């Protein structure tokens, strides 16, 4: 399987990395490293995350207060990351990414 990011998830990740890099450049790199680790883990074990709704799964980003929300497209062999959301601030904001991702998913199918 390969990992792809929905546009909203890419924007969220960029904003998160910028926020941490402003605090300490190494933190910005570290959060990107953690996401790369999670992506590799999901490729090896796509069912790893907890199912949250509508076929969407969640896995926590280690050492940071964020969760990665993703969907599996088994037919296309793709793991779609639909959102990277803070676990305490607006915890349901990731659901907006599912609506947007659905449109991208339909176009890609």
Q: What are the sequence ranges of the domains in the chain? A: 2-108
| Architecture per CATH, 2-108 | 2-Layer Sandwich (3.30)
- Contact (Cβ atoms closer than 8 angstroms) between residue 98 and residue 23: no
Give pLDDT tens digits for 62-99: 889 999 999 999 888 899 999 999 887 654 554 554 44
Instruction: Give percent of the chain with pLDDT exceeding 90.
Output: 61
Give the span between the Cα atoms of 4 and 90, in whole angstroms: 24
Instruction: Give percent of the chain with pLDDT exceeding 70.
Output: 81
Give the span between the Cα atoms of 15 and 8, in whole angstroms: 11
Q: How confident is the model at residue 103 (pLDDT cuts 50, 70, 90)?
A: very low
Give the span between the Cα atoms of 78 and 99, in whole angstroms: 18
Give the span between the Cα atoms of 8 and 99, in whole angstroms: 10
């Amino acid at each position: 399987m390969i990992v792809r990011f929905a546009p909203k998830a890419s924007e969220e990740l960029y904003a998160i990395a910028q926020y941490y890099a402003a605090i300490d450049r190494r933190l910005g790199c570290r959060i990107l490293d953690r996401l790369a680790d999670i992506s590799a883990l999901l490729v090896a074990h796509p069912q790893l995350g907890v199912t949250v709704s509508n076929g969407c799964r969640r896995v926590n980003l280690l050492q940071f207060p964020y969760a990665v929300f993703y969907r599996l497209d088994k037919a296309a062999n793709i793991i779609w990351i639909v959102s990277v959301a803070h676990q305490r601030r607006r915890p349901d904001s990731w659901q907006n990414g599912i609506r947007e991702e659905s449109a991208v998913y339909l176009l890609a199918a």
